[in-house]
């Protein structure tokens, strides 16, 4: 058996995102919820990342803010933390408006 330490190289295949969303429920109650993780298998694009912001499949009246944790995604599912992005309701609404206009 070979007991020497080895070096393994991994190739980045995309980006992995997770985090928390601030939500308003249909009855008006506010709270936070873990978002369902998502990924993009391409170059980093903030707009593509923002499209993934979600309510964890819970269902709510609105998503009022979010903190997105960004990880580099490598082969075999290995993730390396990169950064956080924080969005308030104004930023999320502006983004939604731009999507509707096709910008």
Q: Where are the domains of the chain?
A: 12-101
**23 touches 32 (CB < 8 A):** yes
* Inter-residue contact 73 to 13 (CB < 8 Å): yes
Residue range 49-54: mean pLDDT, rounded: 96
User: Over 90: is that where the pLDDT of 99 sits?
Assistant: no
Which DSSP helix (H) or strand (E) runs through 94? helix 89-101
- In this prediction the pTM is 0.88
The predicted-structure confidence for 6-40, as pLDDT tens digits, reads as follows: 988 999 999 999 999 999 999 999 999 999 999 99
């Amino acid at each position: 058996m070979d007991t020497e330490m080895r070096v393994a190289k991994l190739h980045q295949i995309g980006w992995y995102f997770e985090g928390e969303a601030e939500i308003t429920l249909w009855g008006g109650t506010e709270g936070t919820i873990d978002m369902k993780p998502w990924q993009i298998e391409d170059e980093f694009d903030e707009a593509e990342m923002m499209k993934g912001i979600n309510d964890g499949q819970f269902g709510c009246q609105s998503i009022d803010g979010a903190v997105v944790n960004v990880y580099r995604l490598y082969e075999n599912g290995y993730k390396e933390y990169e950064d956080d992005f924080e969005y308030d309701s104004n930023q999320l609404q502006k983004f939604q408006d731009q999507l509707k206009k096709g910008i």
